[in-house]
């Protein structure tokens, strides 16, 4: 039986690349990623010629080419035109950097700040165009929220509001959930959850009218139990779930909702070591004596030191987060979730696919290494040794500094 004629590897590669490029109608950048992808397709073509029947080989090559090239393709973008966007939390960090980029792209930007005279606000006023409007707002004050909502409705009456970027957020203490005052949980929920909820609900009439975008900066701490971030992580978990509900409910209106889950980046709050030292001292000063005796001051010192060490490894370039927010605002088909920053893929893989014990030990060794509270250390009444506790909890990747 005569076999089908098999074109040369170069011919198959050229045909496959042309077909996929036409099908995707994508804008591909000529660079190392694209060249590596073409080399991969060439190697796969060589293997397919020798191992598979012609039709099966063609299907494998076409499917692989589709996946690889579509991943490299830059998504289609909507024109900026006269689109208006409101961004919360623009005093520093992601909000400040995003406001500057969107203003440079031609957006009408409404940027909220805690203090109109803060360094970040003054920087925006100095370097951005007259289109950018600075608005003072504290998300814990309903009067501030109402004022900003009313200003937005008036200011965007002619152009409409295209997007809302819920960026403002707050993390207060680095401590176990038992050590954090209940007021800390309430404050984090007030800023990170209820503030975003009020802004989103207040602007939904405008966003439904424009079939616009809602982009919310959350955190991986809302997806997995990072040690000592219970108050912050709880508020971010609630926020992510809320945005998931909005995403489904607003689909008939054409409003697209995206969540940004960034890695740890060196924003101004992350770099402010003095701020974290003050908060540690505040926690120690207000901690009930019973809890201070049970955990010990050295326990809290250890948590704070480990936290500051993890922050020192934060990524200095904020552009991946800014690019993700921009894509969520302008991509014809934005993603539901963005994960800017290195290492998140591994963290999420471990969280979703490995056993719970390994997940917990990984998060502890990755973020804050374990430390035995004072009441559980060897020689304390009621326990034989810290080693017994460690055995009860299972093996650890990083031994406690108090264990000998």
Which residues are the active-site residues?
232
Residue 283 corresponds to which tokens in the numbers above?
């926690």
228 Rama class: left (phi>0) / alpha (psi -120 to 50) / beta: left
Cβ-proximal residues to 143 (8 Å cutoff; 6+ apart), any chain: none
Q: How far apart are CA 36 and CA 72, in angstroms?
A: 11
Q: What angle do CA 64, 68, 71 make, to 5 degrees?
A: 145
**Of residues 135, 139, 215, 201, the one with CA closest to residue 170:** 139
Q: How far apart are CA 338 and CA 331, in angstroms?
A: 13
Q: How far apart are CA 40 and CA 379, in angstroms?
A: 61
Give yes or no for a contact between 28 and 34, defined as CB atoms under 8 angstroms apart.
yes
């Amino acid at each position: 039986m005569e076999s089908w004629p098999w074109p040369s590897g170069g011919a198959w590669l050229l045909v496959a690349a042309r077909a996929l490029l036409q099908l995707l109608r994508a804008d591909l950048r000529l660079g190392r990623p694209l060249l590596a992808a073409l080399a991969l397709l060439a190697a796969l073509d060589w293997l397919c010629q020798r191992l598979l029947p012609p039709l099966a080989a063609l299907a494998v090559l076409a499917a692989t080419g589709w996946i690889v090239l579509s991943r490299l393709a830059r998504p289609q973008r909507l024109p900026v035109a006269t689109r208006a966007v409101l961004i919360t939390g623009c005093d520093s960090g992601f909000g400040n950097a995003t406001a500057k980029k969107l203003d440079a792209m031609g957006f009408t930007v409404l940027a909220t700040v805690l203090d109109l005279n803060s360094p970040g606000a003054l920087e925006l006023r100095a370097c951005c165009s007259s289109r950018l409007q600075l608005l003072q707002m504290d998300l814990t004050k309903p009067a501030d929220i109402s004022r900003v909502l009313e200003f937005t409705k008036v200011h965007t009456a002619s152009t409409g509001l295209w997007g809302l970027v819920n960026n403002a957020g707050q993390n207060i203490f680095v401590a176990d959930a038992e050590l954090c005052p209940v007021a800390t949980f309430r404050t984090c929920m007030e800023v990170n959850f209820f503030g975003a909820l009020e802004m989103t609900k207040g602007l939904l009439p405008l966003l439904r009218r424009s079939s616009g975008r809602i982009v919310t900066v959350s955190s991986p701490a809302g997806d997995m139990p990072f040690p000592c971030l219970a108050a912050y992580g709880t508020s971010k978990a609630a926020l992510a779930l809320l945005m998931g509900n909005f995403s489904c409910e607003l689909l008939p209106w054409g409003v697209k909702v995206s969540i940004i889950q960034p890695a740890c980046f060196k924003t101004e709050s992350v770099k402010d070591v003095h701020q974290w030292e003050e908060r540690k001292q505040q926690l120690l000063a207000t901690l009930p004596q019973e809890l201070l005796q049970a955990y010990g001051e050295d326990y809290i010192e250890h948590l704070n030191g480990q936290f500051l060490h993890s922050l020192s490894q934060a990524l200095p370039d904020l552009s991946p987060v800014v690019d993700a927010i921009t894509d969520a605002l302008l991509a014809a088909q934005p993603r539901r979730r963005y994960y800017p920053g290195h290492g998140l893929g591994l963290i999420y893989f471990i969280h979703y696919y490995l056993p719970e014990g390994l997940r917990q030990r990984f998060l502890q060794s990755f973020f804050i290494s374990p430390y035995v509270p004072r009441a559980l250390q060897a020689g304390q009444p009621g326990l034989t040794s810290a080693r017994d506790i460690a055995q009860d909890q299972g093996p650890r990747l990083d031994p406690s500094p108090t264990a000998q």
